[in-house]
Structure 1
């Protein structure tokens, strides 16, 4: 987790409660017209942003003239830039853009943040007549309508429940999970150049990194997996950020593959994943990106709650040891592990390899009978 993100969370914890109290005194207006302008607030990482897309598109699909603004964060704004159904994207951690967002007028605000308070304060500052958010702590005082935050359902369902209070003001919004992001043509072309001949084969994408070390399966495990898959004749592509160059080199230390760590933008990463046969990752934004693009995945879960975050469906294999201490993540915070993160280290290379081969066989194009 970056220093900047830690600082924001510290500020929220120290000053957030005070701002909530102050925010309750701000005036608000009554809704006089049908909902025509909506602000959706989504801080946080890429995974949460992707899981929010079905809700956002469902609003716009049946209400095409409605103006929809997204207040994001720099680290997840690239997701929303690929969505043609979003009219405007601002970043709350860019002061000028935050000011522009607050200068606009909204009939309704949907705050999709699960725990931290600052986004609720921003929602209140808009003066919107309808403000919807999760009732997870004192932040609920700043909303006109609250939704219970549930731990027993997938996070996409929690997000979709936020739509309930404003359904009566919209034209029958119905959830859709199709065509949620559009990959730019130039990103696809760049991906094709980077992949070369590998792009025309059934290759496997591996993402060994992630923003939280406890969620990672480990570079050494991935290196043994590459060795196994290479022996099966499967091309390997490793992706990651510029800060994961060392990790990616370890992953490819036992066999050859294409190392794209630090070489692709978010859009280009999406284009690479869109061409993959299977994607292997821990709980990460890359995993949710692959799911959004409809790609088969093998994922390893330990500290995270698979019930809330794991992909659903027959084309996804979720490996989870379900130890007595797992999951331990609480609103994104993982405590120090006294057991050496056994929930991840006990997932074997054999299990992951077999899952990959099973998915490849299941999704192999069927030959037509002569």
Structure 2
């Protein structure tokens, strides 16, 4: 018997009824949240129903995973009230909720541990930053780890298991998100697999900083001259920069992260700086050219088998010619018949 998406959802719902609730505090950044997905799935596979606390955008980003996301308030008093309300709700649901570790903190910050303590939770998280005394148990934070591995090991330590992290994240998108992405592309006259999606900003800024490839505007002009459609999906703080720096790109404003993930998945190739959408692209299996300059990629590079790191060495950027050649190769694999003849 074949199981469709609806059948899997029903099965997951039935399993969740029996699962123990676990409050999980997400980090405040898109890339970190994406890199924590394998760890979250590991927790779920060991009988926990995840009750995530994080930024509002996490709801759209993680919608296809089916996890509850409680939007974290800004003020300390409201944050503590939220956690106390969640604690009371889960105590009423499970008699042993307060007799076990019932929260896991991905952030390293002192404030995350303080919130959990004031909220009456029995939380675990990484030791350090002077916060261990606030935790039920401080877990080791090991040196020399990629961030995804660090989060994975945090979940393993919480569970008391040993396991290897997956080679690919495999972040899901919903059918509705995929349909919305296709409609946005169709409105621009762009076909899936036949465009380059660029992520030229880093940290929500438009200035050329160390993490932003200085040659991005020239690169986009070269693509335009070669007849390659270029799509850009700016965040709220990036719209003006997108208008000024990339006027020839097809701009899609106001796109929520779940639909953005679907757009990344349908691109012929994604070219990105060290930024959250690069991690999203890798997570959904998009062909990704991840451009790095002075920053060390060992800890923060996008994770997955479809990622190509474009880097000459510490402090050196790839040239436009090098990236153009990589784009041509990626597009030829995605859609050989649609490859523009003018693309060098």
Shorter-chain TM-score tier: 0.7 to 0.9
Superposition deviation, residue 313 in structure 1: 4.5
Superposition deviation, residue 288 in structure 1: 0.7
TM-score, normalization: structure 1? 0.71
- Is 1:267 aligned to residue 261 of structure 2? no
Superposition deviation, residue 321 in structure 1: 4.3
Q: Which position in structure 1 is the counterpart of 2:183?
A: 193
Q: Quick one: structure 1 residues 96 and 147, their matched pair in 2 at CA, closer, same or farther if it must change by over 3 Å?
A: closer
Q: Which position in structure 1 is the counterpart of 2:212?
A: 217
- Is 1:349 aligned to residue 330 of structure 2? no
TM-score, normalization: structure 2? 0.76
211, 214, 232: which is aligned to 1:238? 232
Superposition deviation, residue 50 in structure 1: 0.7
What SS is found at the alignment partner of 2:142?
A: coil
Q: Which position in structure 1 is the counterpart of 2:72?
A: 91
CA distance in 2, matches of 1:76, 1:227: 33
* Structure 1: segments with no counterpart, 5+ residues: 1-33, 324-342
Superposition deviation, residue 201 in structure 1: 4.3
CA distance in 2, matches of 1:50, 1:127: 28
Q: Which position in structure 2 is the counterpart of 1:4?
A: none
CA distance in 2, matches of 1:96, 1:236: 43
Superposition deviation, residue 353 in structure 1: 1.7
Q: Quick one: structure 1 residues 165 and 189, their matched pair in 2 at CA, closer, same or farther if it must change by over 3 Å?
A: closer
Superposition deviation, residue 258 in structure 1: 1.3
Superposition deviation, residue 250 in structure 1: 4.0
Q: Which position in structure 1 is the counterpart of 2:149?
A: 157
What SS is found at the alignment partner of 1:121?
A: helix
Question: After superposition, where does 1:98-137 map in structure 2 within 5 Å?
Answer: 99-105=81-87, 106=97, 107=100, 108-114=102-108, 116-129=109-122, 131-137=123-129
CA distance in 2, matches of 1:97, 1:141: 20
Q: Which position in structure 1 is the counterpart of 2:56?
A: 74
Superposition deviation, residue 43 in structure 1: 2.9
CA distance in 2, matches of 1:126, 1:232: 57
Post-superposition Cα deviations, 1:187-218, rounded to whole Å, max 9, x if no partner, equal 33332232123134421100112325535425
What SS is found at the alignment partner of 1:104?
A: helix
Please give the root-mean-square deviation of Cα atoms over the aligned residues, in Å. 3.0
Q: Which position in structure 1 is the counterpart of 2:309?
A: 318
Q: Which position in structure 2 is the counterpart of 1:42?
A: 26
CA distance in 2, matches of 1:192, 1:41: 33
Query: How many residues are aligned here?
Result: 301
Is the 8 Å Cα contact of residues 58 and 175 (structure 1) preserved in structure 2? no
What SS is found at the alignment partner of 2:65?
A: coil
Superposition deviation, residue 178 in structure 1: 5.4
Q: Which position in structure 1 is the counterpart of 2:40?
A: 56
Q: Quick one: structure 1 residues 318 and 200, their matched pair in 2 at CA, closer, same or farther if it must change by over 3 Å?
A: closer
Post-superposition Cα deviations, 1:11-43, rounded to whole Å, max 9, x if no partner, equal xxxxxxxxxxxxxxxxxxxxxxx9922111113
Is the 8 Å Cα contact of residues 55 and 72 (structure 2) preserved in structure 1? yes
Is the 8 Å Cα contact of residues 78 and 267 (structure 1) preserved in structure 2? yes
Superposition deviation, residue 146 in structure 1: 2.5
Question: After superposition, where does 1:1-20 map in structure 2 within 5 Å?
Answer: none
CA distance in 1, matches of 2:110, 2:19: 25
What SS is found at the alignment partner of 1:198?
A: coil
Is the 8 Å Cα contact of residues 80 and 116 (structure 2) preserved in structure 1? no
